[in-house]
Structures are given as structure tokens and as C-alpha cells.
Chain A
């Protein structure tokens, strides 16, 4: 078909967490510009399976940019060269015939490699477990419209809440910090009155958990927001810092 491309891939292959990995080259032939990046890898994998080789393992699920499962560093950038999208939304029309593309997993101490491009992101679940919620049991009987929340606050809370938990922020950060991920949840819940009763303990406990998981701290380089597929901004980290200072000023946990 006219306009189709031939591309060389250099893909990180690693059998499991206990073995060393390396970059291996593959040819992706006759790639349509309408294909998504993951569909291009699907085709490469079909060829590998037929040859009896192991296909490239990678995480993916919804393929519409919302589940947060896909995770690839493409030519050095989490989720590839385009801003504001996940890998699954990246299409091959963003590349050209003859390109060589390097594909690696998220690299961070807090995200150990499981296999090839698949990493273990359970640390993010544990950070949420440390306080990323409002403690209400099922069966609330307060009418939803009993609390008025200004549209402005509500919209800001929503902007933070769009985080998909993919981990691109960590992969982009030279300190492998999870601060943007953390700040998205802290910011959402501190902007809403329902989140206020627990705001102090929440920020302290979540930050402590982040440290325990081996993520670094934030040094305000801002790479996380640039690579974030949901474009979560630095103001949320600023809000997290304010919440933290306020918490520490009155903390019983010092």
C-alpha cells in the first residue's frame, strides 16, 4: 500500500526481574500510518509468534488513553514524541519511513521490570492505600446537592483527578519522583470540602509511603508535567507542598 513505512525497532528485552536485559533489533515492515503504535507492535509480535520466538511483552488494555496501563519510553520519552497522549493513542503517522525507534520500559527503582517492557507499578496502589481516599462507608444518606462546591474548585479538582496512574511522571523524572502522581490525588481531595477532615494525615502518610517505595523527591524540574498524558500541571505539586507544610505545622506525627 502506498505510504506504508519500514521501520527498525530497538526493543528492551528482559526475561524477568532477575536477569539482565538488552536492546534487540526488529524490523517492522509495511507499517500503515493509520496504525496505532501498539498495533504496530502487535504485528511484529504476530511474526515472532509464528517463528516460535517469544513476543515482546508490554502492558496495554483499553487502547483509548484512559486505563493508564500502557507504558513505554519511546526514543527517550515516556509515551513517545507527542504531548498529552498515552502510547496507545500515538499513531504511526507521527513517524516516517526508515526511522529507527528505541523502546524501553519505565525505569525507576520503584517500578521494577517484570518482563521486557512490563514493570511492576503496585507501589502506586500502596501510595493510594496510605491515604488517597475519603473515609466514608457505603450507605451515605446526605443528599448529593447538600454540599455546594464552587464550579471553579470543582473544575480544578477534576483536572487533578484525571490522573490515570500510568507512571510517566516517574519515568520522566531524573529523581524518579512520584510527586506529580501524589499531588494529583492530594490536590483533588484538598480542593473538595469532603476531603478536608483528613487532609493533614493524608498528605503526610502518602508522602511517607512514596519515600518508602524508593521514589525520589521533587526538585522542580517539571519534566513530569511535560510528559504527563493528562497534562497535570505543576500547580498541583505546589498545592501538595502547601498542604504538607500546613500539616507539619500542626502535626502530631513529627
Chain B
């Protein structure tokens, strides 16, 4: 299989414009003859479904939650990047492009990233027009804040609830189309398979989570906007329902999965408090604008934060990276926090935490000013820990947050299955080996509002509006496969719950495929996952019935897919004999313990092809070509 990224020819700044002109269009009167299915209603899914509905396509949108507004984009806190240069501090489309390629440790496609930077300015215009209440200054114009990995202030925000406000904007646009009749909305429905005929996408199979009925739906094109797979680690900042199932089932039907080992561990999360814990809570990166990260200078110093004098504290990020200080990219901040804890300088009962201290900012700006900026985050921290962060420093530790890997897509966001597209976090395309803060919201909305409406028409015009034949046996077969799988899960009637398997998988992934990885550990993890998966299919206990609301059954199906994905992540991490961004192989580091890339041998996208149950997947390589950005050792010093 030859992977064609379809990056247009020409200078970087002209690629997207020229490409858009070359794409075929669908006449407005013909659009309603095309059925489009959108799976997932986060920023990418809601914005795509709304935009395609506005254009006149016949759209069906699916989500497993009870309303599209619940999708986990809602929880994004800090902000959204845009190259508006409203601060006059030297920002530009090219700088956002450059920062993103560098921040991703040179493992992203230049063409995609430049397009992302270009449309970033349109996103802000669109959202303001929808009534998204971004933070403003007294003059009435929009405010900005700074985020990691950049030396300009280009992040637009709505207190600590930017994702919520952007998603509600996209959701309201979507509901408007539901009202107009261009979009039909299916809530509490989970996608469980893609239907293909001769390698071309023809629809999906979904389970109605309330009645348990397995249904198929046909379409000319299917858009998977189903988010990331961070929950493979069990504990992550993802919502409970976040899963890889839709993307994984597509993978098993022929869609290549790219860079699965590229996982982002976010440096500022509330530490684990006990074995009962079901999720980890992020404290926005924006806090690093005003909070200072430190540990006691002496290992094993168990004094309270107050009792440790200034001279005996180590502000390790400021010390090691004077020009970016506390605002180094996430992978760098996370790794340094781990290093401090490994040295015995960790704080709190578990010793697995560092301080994020606001005392200086409160002294400088006053408590009220700090509350105005971060009030909801401080409240959340107090709820969860029972401590008051205005009085005592926050304790934070890295946690799984985002997955840069995902379904392989070309420049048009098409997967390797014709007619199947992937948008937002579910695809792999724009963040390389590390995503910069405030770029996930940007990418989700770029894909949904601006990229897919342009690129999808080209495919639709090519295939024509002929109705899809739903009587084709592929539909009945796909439904039958899903029913059998469901029945199989219920029939095992073993001794361990799906949750217990999930927790065990998470521990393996975190231990061997987390912040630091090495060959020996990864090999061990692969074996452990294989054993755990085999045991799952013999010994899992799923209660309840297939024909009713059964969250336990939903969970078991998702865990089964995580048990397969986990192994692929480990295989991918083993195969990549270099360190880059969030993928830190202990064998490959510089003298200063920074990630040591190997551009001669690994400047490629690793795209994996499924070859059958329990068979090794086949690796395909898409070489990355850098014509504009010079590859160097990333330095934030």
C-alpha cells in the first residue's frame, strides 16, 4: 500500500488556496441528494454537521451521550490559538505554523499545519458571530493570554471554560440545522461498525443504547469525529465515556492507524488520591501563566510548603529553561516533573506531585484578580482535594490528556477507506509528537468548519448522488457481526468486571508506555496485554441484557477494543527507536536528558494496517518532507 498524503504542490502559503480551487464542487440543488453521517458531536463533529447541514446536505449525526452538548470538548479549559496578532507582539500565520511544527517535535506535516494556522483566524470570527462570550478588555475588544511553547499571546479564552463556550456555539449551530430539517440527530446511539462494499464506505452500524437495538444507516460518506483514546490508560483527563471503539472498528475494516504511541501527558493535573479513582482532573495550562512550579531542593524534604524557605526551593522549570520558564511545552514540563519525583523531591503523601504556587501572583495582582482569571479552576481543585489553593500551593502531577495519534488521513481528511473521513482528535494529522496547548480546539473547529466542507465535495462530486443500496447484504452482515459480538460478551459470565480489566490495562500502559518507555518494558507490556486480552474473553462478567439500557455492556465492548489498541501502541513505541515529543524512549536522550530525535531514520508517520485477530499489524511509512522549517534540536532554554 502506497500512502499518498495528497499535499498540494507549490509554496506553503498557497497550497490550501490553490487546492480549494481545484476541488470539485456539488451544485447547491444536488446537495440534498447526498446522505452524510457524522459520528461524534464534539467540536469537530458538531461544527462539521452544522456546516454541512447549512450547505444543504442531508446529515445524520450520532452521539452516545444524551445530548450533543455533552461531548468532552466541553471540558477543555484554557483557550484556543489563533494567529490574529491582536497584541501586535509579532504573531503571524507563519509563526503559528512554525511554533506548531516545532512544538510537535517535527513529526507533523507542514502542509496540514500551515492550513490550520491559516484558518485559525476565521475560527475566531465565526465563534464571535455565533455569540461565544470570549474574554474582553475594558475597551470592548478581545483579550488574549499566553500558552506553552509560544512567546506570543495568541490564545483566546472564556475564563477557564473555553471548550464549553466553543462547543455550545457549535451545538447551537447544529440545533439550528436540526430545526431546519437538514440534520437528524440520534442521541444515546453508539457506533459499532462501518459498513463497506468493495472497500468503499456505505454506512455504519449503531446500537440504540436505550432499546439495545442494533441498526444500520447508509450514507455516501461517513465522518468519524469520535475523539481520542486516552482512556486506554484507564486514568486520564478524558470523560468516562471517551473510547476508541468507532475508530478501532474502522481500523479493523481497513483504515490505517497512525502514530498510536504519540500520547500527551499533561503536566498540570490533580494527583491520584487512591485506588477508587475513576478519572483525573486537569488544571489548565493557563495556570502556568501565573503559577510557579517548584519542589524542595533537598530530596525527602517533607516539611509543609510554607516552612520551606525560598532558598531551599527549586523552581526547576525556570532554572532549566530561562527563556520559556514555566511555559515550556507540555511534554517537557511533564518529563521534568517526573524527573524531580524520581529524584525523591516529590511532594504530598504519595511523593508523586510537584507544587504549582500562586503566592507571588496573589501578592502582585491581588487575590481578586487571580480569582477573576482562574476562579472556577481553583474551586474545582478545592472540591477535589479539600485544600484551599489561594492559601497553599496546588499539588500537581502529569496525567494522560490527549492522543496525537489516530486514524491516518490525507490532506482531505480521508482515511484509507474511500468515503470514510476522520476529524479532530480522532485523526493523527496536525500535532506531530506533541500538541501545543490551545491547539486542540483550534484543530477540531478548523477540520469541522473549514476543511471538511471544502474537501468532502470533491469526493461526493466524483461518486455522484445515486442512492445507496441498503438492501446490499453487507448491511445485514455487519449488523449480524455486531449482534454476535454483543451476545458473546454477555455469554462469558466470568468472574472479573470489565472495569477491573480496564484498570489492569491502564496500569500496564502507564508503567511501560507512559511518560518514559524502554525496549525491555515495552516487550514485557506487549506480552502482558496479550495475556490480559485472552483472559478477558474467557473471564469477563457482564451483567444485564442486550435489549435494554446497559452501561455495563457498553463499557465491556469499549474495554475489549482498548485491549487491542493497547498492544498496537506498545508495538508502535517499540518500533520507533528515537525519542520525540511525548514519545520518550529512555535509550534515546541528549546529555541534558532531552528527547533525542533520529531524523535520518524516523522522520515518518507510522501507519499501521490491521491483518486479522492476533496477527501482527503491518507498518506503512509516510515520509515527512520539511521544505520550510529547519529540523533542529528543540530548545526552550
Contact = CB atoms under 8 A, between A and B. Distances in A.
A151 B497 contact: no
Contacts of B241: 61
A147 B69 contact: no
A122 interface: yes
A85 B126 CA distance: 31
Contact of B75 (A64, A120, A144): A64
Q: Which of A64, A68, A122 has the most CB of B within 10 A?
A: A64
A188 B131 contact: yes
A84 interface: yes
A48 B552 CA distance: 11
B65 A69 contact: yes
Contacts of B544: 54-55
B499 interface: yes
Contacts of B126: 136, 138-140
Interface in B426-460: 449-450, 453
Contacts of B38: none
B172 A133 contact: yes
Interface string A44-74: 0110111011110101111111111100000
B384 A89 contact: yes
Contacts of B549: 16, 57, 114-115, 118
Interface string A4-36: 000000000001100000000000000010111
Contact of B548 (A16, A61, A93, A125): A16
Contact of A42 (B66, B274, B499): B499
A251 interface: no
A151 B137 contact: yes
Interface in B116-140: 122, 124-131, 133-140
Contacts of A125: 67-69, 175, 178, 185, 187
A142 B129 contact: yes
A36 B176 CA distance: 36
B512 to A, nearest CB: 26
B173 A138 contact: yes
Contacts of B199: none
B622 interface: no
A63 B241 CA distance: 10
A107 to B, nearest CB: 17
Interface string B596-614: 0000000000000000000
Contact of A121 (B50, B66, B176): B66
Contacts of A32: 273-274, 276
Interface majority SS (helix, strand, loop, mixed), chain A: loop
A120 B549 CA distance: 12
A157 interface: yes
Given A133-B172, A144-B142, A154-B136, A62 B276 contact: no
A252 interface: no
Contact of A134 (B70, B130, B139, B552): B130
A53 B70 contact: no
Contact of B136 (A63, A64, A149): A149
A50 B128 contact: no
A169 interface: no
A122 B380 contact: no
A230 B542 CA distance: 36
A206 B201 CA distance: 39
Interface stretch (A189-197, A217-225, A234-242): A189-197
A89 B187 CA distance: 25
A247 interface: no
Given A53-B543, A125-B185, A145-B141, A68 B69 contact: yes
A132 B172 contact: yes
Contact of B66 (A34, A89, A120, A144): A120
A179 interface: no
B292 interface: no
Given A67-B75, A129-B179, A144-B128, A122 B67 contact: yes
Size class of the contact patch on chain B: 35 or more
Interface stretch (B214-222, B277-285, B339-347, B519-527): B277-285
Contacts of A189: 131
Interface in A67-94: 67-69, 84-85, 89, 91, 93
A253 interface: no
Contacts of B386: 34, 91, 93
B454 to A, nearest CB: 11
A28 B240 CA distance: 21
B113 interface: no
B313 interface: no
B45 to A, nearest CB: 14
Contact of A67 (B54, B70, B281, B497): B70
Given A114-B210, A149-B140, A124 B67 contact: yes
Nearest to B498: A49
A66 B497 CA distance: 28
B86 interface: yes
B153 interface: no
A140 B274 contact: no
Contacts of A65: 380, 383
A39 B273 CA distance: 12
B541 interface: yes
Contacts of B187: 122, 125
Contacts of B416: none
Nearest to A56: B551
B20 interface: no
A62 B164 CA distance: 12
Interface in B150-181: 158-159, 161, 164-165, 168, 171-173, 175-176, 178-179
17 contacts: A57-B549, A57-B551, A64-B282, A66-B75, A67-B239, A69-B65, A122-B67, A138-B126, A139-B122, A141-B122, A143-B125, A148-B139, A148-B140, A149-B140, A150-B136, A161-B165, A165-B67
Interface of B: 47, 50-51, 54, 65-72, 74-75, 84, 86, 122, 124-131, 133-142, 158-159, 161, 164-165, 168, 171-173, 175-176, 178-179, 185, 187, 210, 237, 239-241, 273-274, 276-279, 281-282, 379-380, 383-384, 386, 449-450, 453, 493, 495, 497, 499-500, 541-544, 548-549, 551-552
Given A52-B543, A144-B124, A157-B131, 18 more contacts: A34-B386, A43-B276, A50-B541, A52-B541, A57-B549, A60-B240, A61-B72, A68-B74, A69-B66, A93-B386, A115-B549, A122-B187, A129-B175, A130-B179, A133-B131, A136-B130, A192-B131, A194-B129
8 closest pairs, A vs B, by CB?
Answer: A148-B140, A133-B172, A158-B133, A140-B129, A138-B51, A144-B128, A129-B179, A61-B239
